[in-house]
């Protein structure tokens, strides 16, 4: 219950800054623009033509749901990586703001535990990010559904899963803010985790090509602990395009990302509990 109260405080803070509104308007405009400029000609279940702003994008004639896979896949990547970058930029100062002198004392004076404060902030950000991802990906799927008659729930699920990647990145950002109360530092940590998430996804081929011997082994051991964000993005796009093959591996990727997220939060809570305010 107290977690929910903290999360609501976070929402109020976000709305007060109006950036949530700005983001929602931006995504809505993008979806509305897509709805009005993207024309899809479907005949008996076959996608015969695709036009954007009146120009022919693709004249291949193919079963509509097969042809839409590429669109769903592209949308999934945009939501995944776009959401990560947007989230890093927008949420980087939230943790430092809450931990600011004066503010933190006021919050700690409330009947709330320190770990509840940190987790509530985290869940507030995660819920907002998940809502944005589902709105973006799901809205696109709804538009395509009305235009083609092909309805798919996979893009909604893909939007939710892309928010798992954001959870891992934001957990590291929030925990770093407890150590160093700086929005820039928080943003840099977020970018670093995102980069490590990419490198760790390709640690074997990268270490073979670029680094050999002791350096390669060191890099492989360091990247072992990072979440495989690029692999998760690839498998999420497979899910959005309904061509996911290894469900077990996909679940392992999601769980390992979530465990990284919880581990970062544990570190942040440990520091938060031991710090004098």
Partner 1 sequence: MRRSSRHLWLVCAAILLGLGAWLANPADQAQDAPRKSVEFPNYPRRHEYERMATRETLPARAPQIMWDNAEEEETPRSVRDPLLRALPPKEADSLVIFEANALRHSVMGELMVDCLTRTWNNPIQNIYNYTGIDVLSDLDRLVVLDEGMIVTGSFEEIDFDQLFGGMQAKPYGDEALIYAADEESPLAIGIWRNEMLFMGETREEITRAVDRIEGRAVYAPPMLENQAYGEVYGTMHPKVISEIIAHGSPEIAKKIAAIVEGVDIHIDAMNDVAMVATMRGSDENDIRDLAKTIGVAFSVGRLAARANGDEVLEEILDYAKVSPSGNVPWFDLELALPQAVIEDYLAEACGEIEALEREREEALEQESEESADQLDEE
Q: By the criterion CB under 8 A, which residues form the site for partner 1? A: 43-46, 48, 59-64, 66, 200-205, 224-225, 227-228, 231, 234, 238, 243, 245-246, 249, 252-253, 255-260, 262-264, 266-267, 269-270, 273-274
Checking 189-192 for CB contacts under 8 A at 24+ apart, the result is 190/87, 190/88, 190/91, 190/92, 191/88
Report the residue number, 39 or 256, with the smaller CB distance to partner 1.
Answer: 256
Give the burial class of 102: count Cβ atoms within 10 A of its Cβ; 0-12 exposed, 13-18 middle, 19 or more buried. exposed
Q: Rounded to 5 degrees, what are φ and ψ at 57?
A: -85, -40
Q: Per DSSP, what are the bridge partners of residue 51?
A: 39, 56
CB of 226: closest distance to partner 1 in angstroms?
9
d(CA 142, CA 155): 10
- Alpha carbon 162 to its chain centroid, in Å, reads 4
Looking at beta carbons only, is 214 or 224 nearer to partner 1?
224
Q: Which is nearer to partner 1, 160 or 267 (CB)?
A: 267
DSSP code for 210: T
**Minimum distance of partner 1 from residue 133's CB (angstroms):** 22
Residue indicated by tokens 């320190």: 114
User: What are the beta bridge partners of residue 41?
Assistant: 49
- Where on the phi/psi map is residue 54: left (φ > 0), alpha (ψ -120 to 50), or beta? left
Instruction: Provide the minimum distance between the beta carbon of 136 and partner 1 in the complex, in angstroms, as a whole number.
Output: 24
Of the pair 17, 220, the CB lying nearest partner 1 is at 220
- 138 or 227: CB nearest partner 1: 227
Q: Which is nearer to partner 1, 212 or 275 (CB)?
A: 275
Report the C-alpha gap between 15 and 18 in whole angstroms: 5
CB of 275 to partner 1, least distance (A): 11
Q: How far is the CB of 32 from partner 1 (least distance, A)?
A: 29
The distance of closest approach from Cβ of residue 199 to partner 1 in the complex, given in angstroms and rounded to an integer, is 12
CB of 264 to partner 1, least distance (A): 7
User: Given the complex with partner 1, which of 23 and 264 has the nearer CB atom?
Assistant: 264
**What would the two tokens of residue 7 be?**
């999360």
Spatial separation of the C-alpha atoms in residues 197 and 227, rounded to whole Å: 5
Alpha carbon distance 48, 82 (integer Å): 30
CB of 23 to partner 1, least distance (A): 30
Select 135 or 170, whichever has its Cβ closest to partner 1: 170
């Amino acid at each position: 219950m107290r977690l929910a109260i903290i999360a609501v405080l976070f929402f109020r803070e976000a709305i007060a800054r109006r950036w949530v509104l700005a983001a929602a308007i931006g995504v809505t405009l993008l979806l509305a623009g897509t709805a009005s400029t993207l024309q899809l000609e479907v005949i008996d279940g076959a996608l015969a033509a695709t036009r954007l702003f009146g120009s022919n994008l693709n004249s291949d004639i193919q079963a509509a749901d097969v042809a839409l896979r590429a669109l769903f896949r592209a949308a999934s990547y945009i939501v995944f990586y776009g959401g990560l970058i947007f989230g890093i930029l927008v949420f980087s100062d939230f943790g430092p703001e809450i931990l600011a002198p004066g503010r933190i004392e006021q919050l700690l004076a409330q009947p709330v535990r320190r770990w509840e404060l940190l987790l509530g902030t985290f869940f507030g950000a995660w819920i907002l990010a998940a809502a944005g991802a589902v709105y973006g990906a799901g809205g696109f799927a709804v538009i395509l559904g009305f235009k083609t008659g092909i309805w798919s729930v996979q893009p909604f699920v893909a939007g939710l899963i892309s928010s798992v990647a954001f959870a891992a990145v934001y957990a590291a950002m929030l925990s770093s803010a407890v150590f160093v109360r700086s929005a820039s530092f928080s943003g840099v940590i977020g970018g670093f985790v995102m980069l490590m998430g990419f490198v760790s996804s390709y640690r074997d081929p990268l270490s073979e090509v670029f680094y050999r011997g002791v350096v390669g082994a060191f890099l492989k051991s360091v990247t072992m602990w990072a979440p495989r964000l690029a692999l998760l993005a690839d498998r999420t796009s497979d899910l959005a395009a309904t061509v996911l093959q290894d469900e077990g591996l996909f679940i392992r990727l999601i769980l390992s990302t979530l465990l990284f997220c919880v581990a970062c939060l544990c570190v942040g809570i440990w520091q938060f509990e031991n710090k004098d305010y």
